[in-house]
Amino acid sequence: MRLGICIPMYTVVPSSFVVSFLHRLTELNTNGRNYEVKIYVEQGTVIDLSRNQLVKRALADDCDYIMMIDADMVLPVNAIDDLIDMNLDIVSGLYFAKGKPYYPVARIKKDKDDELHHMLEEFEFGKVMKVAGAGMGCCLIKAKVFKDIKYPYFKFEWKEDQYGEPYQMAEDLYFCENAGKAGYDIYLNTGIVCGHFGTEVDASHFLVYKNQVEKDKANREEVIEALMKLEGISEEEVMQRFHDRFALRETEWNKVDKTNPKAVEDYYINNKYEIYDQLHWHLNDRRSFDKKMVLDVLRNYPDKSTEILDYGAGSGDIAYLLAKEGYMVTVCEPNKKTNEFMSLRFLKNHVKVKRISYPVSPQYTNKYDLILCFDVLEHIPDEKFKETIEVLKKFKKPGTQVLSTVSFGAQNVHPMHFDYTDEKKQLIEELFE
């Protein structure tokens, strides 16, 4: 049996790869199986071109198996022998992406009609499972597979998702997609666990984040479920609204007379689609900020009797996370639909949060140890700004800390953001005194 080992590489190769690779070659030469091993190396920064050239060379030498190994991988003992013994057309070892949360480099599909590749989040070590796509860092492929699919075998391809948005399919998924269309299944052996080096990543990195990944997934699912119930729509319709959130929100906002503070205030009270932008932001780009902020509160306010006010709470994600940690949290949010969403979500998940009605009654005198006011002040019209600051100041007591983020101006990008002025600067400084 002739085995072609194909290694695409850049100019620098980690020493950990070299040592590991030498050990694996020693195994192949001492295992008594009499493999004829040929090694192919291709240097270059265009990875799909390199992979195609490597396969062409291996096929020209009549290799029976092609073993793809990236030059930043550390394969475990007997990894290549174990993959060969499986006698599968396409099978990969398990390794993890170098970026948090270190998902496995493998993809799945929800069903046979699903056109998208999804991250593999749930799996058991020591199993063999069918996947929709595998990385080429440690992948064994029978030569006949390449003879049954068209050249180029690997290619970066632009495609469109279900909403018509363009995205680029990586070269390894392109290969897996075409191999699947040719009738070949792709397998992942989660018992062959590789290291992914350069920046060092192995199974331990994934396991550290696995619990948090599961929490994030559960959080996304409960948000979608709450929206479905609140709006009386399907999951597909919820996801479509997430996708169309900017257009839906803009349609409402364009009806507002921006020179009329009352009209702006009415928009924030009555709009129906701002919630989708808020939730999408907190579930994605804002997620790491939210979690870090909660950790900061846990560190700086270990006493769970700390009273926290989330002013302009939006969809309530930060209040939700803090309340689940046991803090006494109060929210103040003008939007009717968002308040309905918070009530439904918090009640269903037995999370206790108090609420102040908007506008705040002059008779309300409660004060707080910590006030959160994230991405709120830039949305306040000039005529209402001083009044808003005075309301926030009334919530303070000696020693109260105010945490806030703002992004004034840039209305071409953020049409709902008002401009920063010297007067606003002075008022904000007074709030933080």
CATH of the domain at 344: 3.40.50.150
pLDDT at res. 199: 60
The tens digit of pLDDT for each residue in 60-70 reads 999 999 999 99
Quickly count: other Cβ atoms within 10 Å of residue 173's Cβ.
21
State how far the Cα of 194 lies from the Cα of 96, in Å rounded to an integer: 8
Q: Which residues of 303-320 are buried (b: 16+ CB within 10 A; e: fewer)?
A: eeebbbbbbbbbbbbbbb
Distance of CA 51 to the CA centre of its chain: 28
Domain membership of residue 209 (yes or no) is no
Banded model confidence at residue 100, pLDDT cuts 50, 70, 90? confident
Domain membership of residue 208 (yes or no) is no
Beta bridge partners of 131: 186
Least confident of 113-117, 137-141, 175-179, 331-335: 113-117
pLDDT at res. 117: 83
Domain that holds residue 76: 2-201
Whether residues 104 and 149 fall in one domain:
yes
Structure tokens at 118: 């999804």
pLDDT at res. 411: 67
Domain membership of residue 63 (yes or no) is yes
pLDDT at res. 70: 95
Whether residues 99 and 238 fall in one domain:
no
CATH code of the domain covering residue 93: 3.90.550.40
pLDDT at res. 191: 95
Write the CA distances from 216 to 95, 220, 227, 265, 321, integer angstroms. 21, 6, 17, 33, 11
Taking each helix axis as running N to C, give the angle between helix 171-181 and helix 47-60, from 0 to 180 degrees, rounded to the nearest 10. Answer: 50
Percent helix, strand, coil in the chain, to 5, is 40, 20, 35
The tens digit of pLDDT for each residue in 249-305 reads 889 999 999 888 889 889 999 999 999 999 999 988 888 899 899 999 999 999 999
Whether residues 251 and 163 fall in one domain:
no
- 320 close to 351: Cβ distance less than 8 angstroms: yes
Domain membership of residue 371 (yes or no) is yes
pLDDT at res. 198: 63
Greatest mean pLDDT range, 32-46, 157-171, 176-190, 418-432 = 176-190
Domain membership of residue 206 (yes or no) is no
179-204 mean pLDDT: 88
Share of residues in the chain with pLDDT > 90 (%): 70
Q: Which residues 6+ apart lie within 8 Å of 12 measured at CB?
A: none
Helix (H, G, I), strand (E, B) or coil at 311: strand
Q: How many CA atoms lie within 13 A of 2 on its CB side?
A: 13
Give the CA dihedral 222, 224, 229, 234, nearest 10 degrees: -140
State how far the Cα of 260 lies from the Cα of 249, in Å rounded to an integer: 19
* Mean pLDDT, rounded, of the chain: 91
- 189 close to 82: Cβ distance less than 8 angstroms: yes
Q: Enter the pTM of the model.
A: 0.65
Domain membership of residue 325 (yes or no) is yes
Domain boundary among 140, 167, 201: 201
pLDDT at res. 200: 64
68-97 mean pLDDT: 95
Beta bridge partners of 3: 37, 65
Q: Is the pLDDT of residue 113 over 80?
A: no
Q: How many domains does the chain have?
A: 2
State how far the Cα of 48 lies from the Cα of 256, in Å rounded to an integer: 50
- 135 close to 141: Cβ distance less than 8 angstroms: no
pLDDT at res. 10: 81
Least confident of 197-206, 239-248, 308-317: 197-206
Banded model confidence at residue 402, pLDDT cuts 50, 70, 90? very high
Q: What are residue 87's phi and psi, to 5 degrees?
A: 55, 45
The tens digit of pLDDT for each residue in 225-252 reads 999 999 999 999 999 999 999 899 889 9
Q: Is the pLDDT of residue 211 over 90?
A: no
Whether residues 289 and 177 fall in one domain:
no
92-108 mean pLDDT: 90
User: Which class for 95: exposed (0-12), middle (13-18), buried (19 or more C-beta within 10 A)?
Assistant: buried
Share of residues in the chain with pLDDT > 70 (%): 98
State how far the Cα of 188 lies from the Cα of 129, in Å rounded to an integer: 5
pLDDT at res. 77: 94
pLDDT at res. 413: 60
pLDDT at res. 412: 64
